[in-house]
């Protein structure tokens, strides 16, 4: 049986994403996909989904979704207020990092997002594949729902759930490292003065509100190029994580929706293990960088994968407030005996009135 999530309110910055279009950048096709694959995989793990399945990425304001046709199991990961409004009238706040089953008519309402959040659906969101991916890339109107963000009135096709709706799954949040964002030098770090390279690592940077899925602008002391001519290069390949520095000296970090080529020199590149953490970085928190080697970058990726695996082993069963414990109910001896009676055995009115 199929089910649908009806979009009652589209929110802001909500798109269908998966792990992205790998292997197509030589055609000029952006990778797109989730900004933080670790958190997206966590949402899928709560539902036993494949990590390649499509889900919703929330960036600014979450949507309001209503289950239709059949029950739908969803999982919410991230710092976003969430409430389930049952068709019968009850309201159930969700603590986050958990799954919940929506019955037909139930509504999942999500509020303002801090950083990023993800909403996965059991079985994944069934939108058409485009170049091997369901990821939305808004600048080329590719993938997802007609290549755009969610709108009120959209319908998200998904699978019906047949699991016990009273038994869900939850886990503690997947924690981040506390250290600086780690980078590899280059590929055009020689276009900057030694003082600029030192400044990149020594300064406290601030993430400005000028950020989207394509990239984020940083504010701080200008990074000086070796000469005015070094502020531009012949366009060459770029990738998510590249730190471009235009003539203004203010860095731009490219993210998942980044173009495939660019003409600004790249002083450094954020390592893969830290890119999701950077994409969620709050504007109020100072940002520091640390330069490491390629070997250290590979070890950081292995460590992050190990941390994710250890987290996945901590997923546990959870019964949301107000859900009946059917197994305990069935196991309980609620009837001490059986009485066989007929209408002929029933006392008459006169017998009941006797003292």
Pairing of strands 82-85, 107-110: antiparallel
Domain positions in the chain are 2-171, 181-310
- Interval 20-40 mean pLDDT: 92
Count the residues in the chain: 355
Per-residue CA distances from 224 to 199, 206, 252, 292, 348 (Å): 9, 18, 14, 22, 103
Q: Which residues pair with 323 in a beta bridge?
A: none
Specify the pLDDT at position 162. Answer: 74
Candidate CATH numbers 3.90.1580.10, 2.60.40.10, 2.40.100.10, 3.30.565.10; the one for domain 181-310: 2.40.100.10
Helices in 234-343 by DSSP H: which ranges? Answer: 272-279, 294-312, 326-331
For residue range 50-99, list pLDDT tens digits in order.
Answer: 999 999 999 999 999 999 999 999 999 999 999 999 998 889 999 889 99
Say if residues 116 and 42 touch (Cβ distance below 8 Å): no
Quick one: residue 186, left, alpha or beta (phi over 0 = left, psi -120 to 50 = alpha)? left
Longest distance between any two alpha carbons in the chain, whole Å? 113
CA dist 216 and 239 (Å) reads 14
Give how far the C-alpha of residue 23 lies from the chain's centroid of Cα atoms, to the nearest Å: 22
Return the SS3 of 54. Answer: coil
Specify the pLDDT at position 165. Answer: 62
Contacts with 13 (C-beta within 8 Å, 6 or more apart), sequence order: 58, 59, 60, 61, 113, 149
Specify the pLDDT at position 235. Answer: 87
pLDDT greater than 90 at residue 296:
yes
For residue range 257-275, list pLDDT tens digits in order.
Answer: 999 998 899 999 999 999 9
For residue range 149-191, list pLDDT tens digits in order.
Answer: 999 999 999 988 876 667 899 999 999 988 999 999 999 999 9
């Amino acid at each position: 049986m199929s089910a649908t999530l009806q979009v009652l309110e589209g929110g802001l910055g909500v798109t269908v994403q998966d792990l992205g279009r790998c292997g197509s950048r030589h055609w000029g096709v952006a990778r797109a996909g989730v900004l933080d694959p670790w958190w997206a995989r966590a949402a899928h793990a709560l539902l036993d989904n494949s990590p390649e399945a499509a889900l919703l990425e929330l960036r600014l304001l979450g949507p309001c979704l209503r289950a239709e046709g059949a029950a739908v199991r969803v999982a919410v990961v991230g710092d976003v207020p969430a409430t389930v409004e049952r068709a019968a009238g009850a309201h159930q706040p969700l603590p986050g990092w958990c799954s919940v089953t929506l019955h037909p008519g139930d509504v999942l309402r999500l509020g303002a997002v801090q950083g990023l959040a993800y909403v996965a659906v059991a079985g994944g969101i069934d939108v058409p594949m485009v170049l091997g991916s369901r990821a939305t890339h808004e600048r080329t109107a590719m993938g997802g729902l007609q290549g755009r963000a969610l709108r009120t009135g959209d319908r998200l096709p998904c699978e019906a759930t047949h699991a016990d709706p009273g038994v869900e799954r939850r886990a503690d949040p997947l924690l981040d490292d506390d250290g600086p964002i780690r980078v590899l030098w280059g590929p055009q770090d020689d276009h900057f003065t030694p003082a600029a390279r030192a400044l990149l690592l020594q300064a406290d940077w601030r993430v400005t509100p000028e950020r989207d899925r394509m990239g984020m602008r940083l504010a701080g002391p200008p990074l000086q190029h070796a000469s005015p001519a070094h502020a531009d290069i012949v366009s060459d390949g770029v990738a998510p994580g590249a730190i471009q520095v235009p003539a203004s000296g203010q860095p731009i970090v490219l993210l998942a929706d980044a173009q495939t080529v660019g003409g600004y020199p790249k002083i450094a590149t954020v390592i893969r293990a830290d890119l999701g953490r950077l994409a969620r970085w709050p504007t109020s928190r100072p940002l520091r960088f640390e330069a490491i080697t390629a070997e250290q970058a590979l070890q950081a990726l292995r460590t992050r994968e190990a941390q994710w695996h250890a987290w996945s082993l901590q997923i546990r069963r959870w019964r949301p407030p107000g859900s009946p414990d059917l197994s305990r109910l069935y196991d309980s001896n609620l009837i001490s005996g059986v009485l066989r009676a007929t209408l002929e055995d029933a006392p008459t009115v006169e017998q009941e009135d006797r003292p």
